[in-house]
Amino acid sequence: MDKLEKQPCPMCGKNTLTLLQDDMDVPYFGKVFIMSMTCSSCNYRVADVESAETKEPCKIEFEIDNEKDMKVRVVKSSEATVKIPGMRMSMESGPGSDGFVSNIEGLLDKFKGIIEGERDTTDEDSVKKSCKNLLKKLWKVKLGDVKLKVVIEDPSGNSAIISDKAKISKLKK
């Protein structure tokens, strides 16, 4: 792992930014580079994952239909958009979007955090009720009681869902 400390932060300008770079071999996907920047002063952070080889833009669809699917490996680049059509939710790409290596459960937990944040900051009863229902659905998905489709669209091709059940197609522009 390469580590550079005390670098100037692009947000606050203080020399408190730490840069990390590591590589990892993801089974059935190949070598990836994991990079991150974290500032201890202002909490600025960015992370990304890039494949060591050039990939084609892709769309990956995966249907969660049992508890074992929670362990399926997920690689998401910062350029990828993750969608859960059955919940009308998405995690958009662009500035502030992180790349990561996780699993389906970790991905669902990221969406859970977004829903909980919305629930905890709203004053509207209808929004609170909607959040409660979405959280209940996520819980049932984790138990394998409810099916749910996850879609990753990545113009860089640096994302993957490592499973024979994943359907991969070309990303239409």
H or E element that contains 139: helix 125-143
Q: Which tokens go with 143?
A: 């138990």
DSSP code of residue 79: T
Q: What is the pTM of this model?
A: 0.81
User: b/e string for 61-79 if b means 16 or more Cβ within 10 A?
Assistant: bbebeeeebbebbbbbbbb
Asked if 156 contacts 58 with a C-beta cutoff of 8 angstroms, the reply is: no
Domains of the chain: 1-53 (2.20.25), 54-173 (2.60.120.1040)
Asked if 165 contacts 148 with a C-beta cutoff of 8 angstroms, the reply is: no
Q: pLDDT tens digits, the chain, 173 residues: what are they?
A: 899 999 999 999 999 999 999 998 887 778 889 999 999 999 999 888 888 888 899 999 999 999 999 999 999 988 899 999 999 999 887 666 788 899 999 999 999 999 999 999 999 999 999 999 999 999 999 999 999 999 999 998 989 999 999 999 999 86
- The residues that bridge with 35 in the sheet, in sequence order, are 21, 48
User: b/e string for 113-138 if b means 16 or more Cβ within 10 A?
Assistant: eebeeebeeeeeeeeeeebeebeebb
Q: Which tokens go with 96?
A: 């502030």
